[in-house]
Amino acid sequence: MEGVALSFSHKLNLPQFVLFPCLMLLSLRISLLNSTSLPPIFQIPPLSKSLHRYFSFTPHSLLTPPKQRFSPRDVFNSNVRIRQLSRAGNITAARQLFDNMPNNDVVSWNSIITGYWQNGCLQESKKLFDSMPERNIVSWNSMIAGCVENGSVDEAFQYFQAMPERNTASYNAMISGFIRWDRVNEAGMLFQEMPRKNVISYTAMMDGYMKVGEVDKARDLFDGMPCRNVVSWTVMISGYVDNCEFNEARELYERMPNKNVVPMTAMITGYSKQKRVEDARVLFDGIRYKDRVCWNAMITGYAQNGIGEEALKLCSEMLKLGIQPDNLTLVSVFTACSGLASLKEGRQIHVLVIKNGFDMDLSLCNSLITMYSKCGGILDAEQAFRQINGADLVSWNTIIAAFAQHGLYEKAVFFFNQMELVGVKPDGVTFLSLLSACGHAGKVNESMDFFDLMVKNYGIYPRSEHFSCLVDILSRAGQLEKASKIIQEMPFQADGGVWGALLAACSVYLNVELGELAAQKIVEVDPHHSGAYIVLSNIYAAAGMWDEVTRVRLQMKEQGVKKQCAYSWMEIGSKTHHFLGGDVSHPDTDKIHLEIKSISLQMKALVNIAEIDLLWSCFA
């Protein structure tokens, strides 16, 4: 006991003559703790408050020194560690560290509150916020940001209104929240109420106006800004690009004082949307330090403009430089493969998806299904769909559309029924694919049933595409009058696609009267639609109305309408060869023509042999 007293006297800075009797008393108390029937003379009185200052004990622990208070540096380091653990997704460890801190400051509370809502635990953040011993303005701002991040904008505004005091960051957080959830008018009113605005306030409001197409309001704010930064310029340039006002975007870009990769990437997207891919590439090549977003913008530009080969080349170059692709890169590359109908490259990119761990990304899986379908790999498309865990509406629509495009009516209907069974509600895109499947299979009655199911059971308002598909099905079946009646009874004016479906059928069934009506309606919408003139001319020619053929041809010449040349392409090895009608620029044109003649002669020889075999069978 004396040794223990000596040890603790050094630790607790108490003289031994004070500590030794105390330890004796504690030892006796511990030995009698479990005794419940001792005479009063043997019962030990409670420890004095002064002793509790130095000791705490339980039946399982003789003496436990109290938690020592953290120094300011220890508290700072713990707060940093809480934030690190939270960002890494280990909120449980962050909470344990918070709970084990002997003294938490307001930064500790703010860190763990922010950590919880960043990990999707908003309710726990609310509980901690309510139990805070003291709050500062950062605490309130954190709760506003947390509610916005988790989609509870109204709750965020309640916290904002309840704040005892607000700073510019409070207003910015609430304005950004309103804009993020498309409540731009409320953001605008709050912006007007702000006592002090900074560059973040102006930039957030400009972004909101650009999102809803109020370009002039955004420009007025931009012109009235007391100071601007790179983000302000970039938001305006990107907003102009997104609202298809490329000239204004370019004018602003040329005025921008200090350009970096971000506004240059926005301009690459703008040039690509204007189909000026060469200009986009010049700008891309001029960027000294390219990031992944920049590469994605250029690859997407090529893919969306039908230049799939360049998109694949650029992706290959990006990978060689060690820049890892993300899901946006791979979606664009799948689009390029779809445009080229290149199944080989598509499968190689699929391997890249699995290698980089993107095989659980739903949007990427949906693009994968589309790619396989357009490249002719319908079985691969079905397999890709079956590997999706938790298919959404887009996934179901994609696979149903794939079967429809391949003329597999039964498969499309089967997957539609499965979609209903799992509780996914179809939309207009779903029924458009079903109508397309009916068209490929010639299912007239079934198409009318699906149309009625869409309108009456699901309450989906039919768009022009649905009527166009229905008219096409009826027209292909020769029911031209019924198709024409549906067009006349449409709740809105028919567009060129609807009349085009009827016109094509009139060419097949030589209905001159309806063909004239359909062609006239198409030309009213698009005076330079060459297809309408050509098909009507062919109808007149088939009916022997040569004067009308001449009239249509002259009308085309007067209107400056030119017939679009047909084109095709073929993939051989790793190269795609393009062929345009009447074009002889291909280096192997002579060899190709010779091969075609050879094939033609072989086919004729086979026909002759078949005819001889048929004659011999008659005499047998």
> Per residue in 124-149, pLDDT tens?
999 999 999 999 999 999 999 999 99
Mean pLDDT rounded to a whole number for the chain: 84
Q: Look up the CATH number of the domain holding residue 538.
A: 1.25.40.10
The reply to whether 468 and 560 lie within a common domain is yes
Higher-pLDDT residue of 596 and 326 is 326
453 in any annotated domain: no
83 in any annotated domain: no
Quote the pLDDT of residue 358: 87
pLDDT tens digits, one per residue of 553-610: 888 887 777 666 555 666 665 566 666 666 666 777 777 778 887 887 777 777 666 6
Percent of the chain with pLDDT over 90: 57
Quote the pLDDT of residue 613: 62
Query: Where a domain ends, among 52, 68, 93?
Result: 52
8 in any annotated domain: yes
pLDDT tens digits, one per residue of 12-42: 444 444 444 444 444 434 444 444 444 443 3
Quote the pLDDT of residue 37: 43
Q: Which domain holds residue 473?
A: 463-567
The reply to whether 519 and 602 lie within a common domain is no
Higher-pLDDT residue of 567 and 322 is 322
Amino acid sitting at position 313? K
The reply to whether 504 and 595 lie within a common domain is no
Residue 618 confidence (pLDDT) above 70: no
Quote the pLDDT of residue 284: 96
Query: 22-26, 67-71, 176-180, 319-323: lowest mean pLDDT where?
Result: 22-26
| C-alpha span between 380 and 357 (Å, rounded) | 19
450 in any annotated domain: no
Q: How many CA atoms lie within 13 A of 107 on its CB side?
A: 12
445 in any annotated domain: no
Residue 531 confidence (pLDDT) above 90: no
The reply to whether 554 and 599 lie within a common domain is no
- The tokens for 194 are 């702000």
Give the count of domains, the chain: 3
317 in any annotated domain: no
* CA distance from start to end of the chain: 125
81 in any annotated domain: no
How does residue 611 score in pLDDT terms, banded at 50, 70 and 90?
low
Amino acid sitting at position 512? V
Percent of the chain with pLDDT over 70: 83
Quote the pLDDT of residue 24: 45
Quote the pLDDT of residue 11: 42
Q: Position of tokens 């960043």?
A: 118
Displacement of CA 200 from its chain's centroid (Å):
26
433 in any annotated domain: no
Quote the pLDDT of residue 42: 37
User: Read out DSSP for 352-383?
Assistant: HHHHTT-TT-HHHHHHHHHHHHHTT-HHHHHH
Quote the pLDDT of residue 91: 94
CB count within 10 Å of CB 420 equals 13
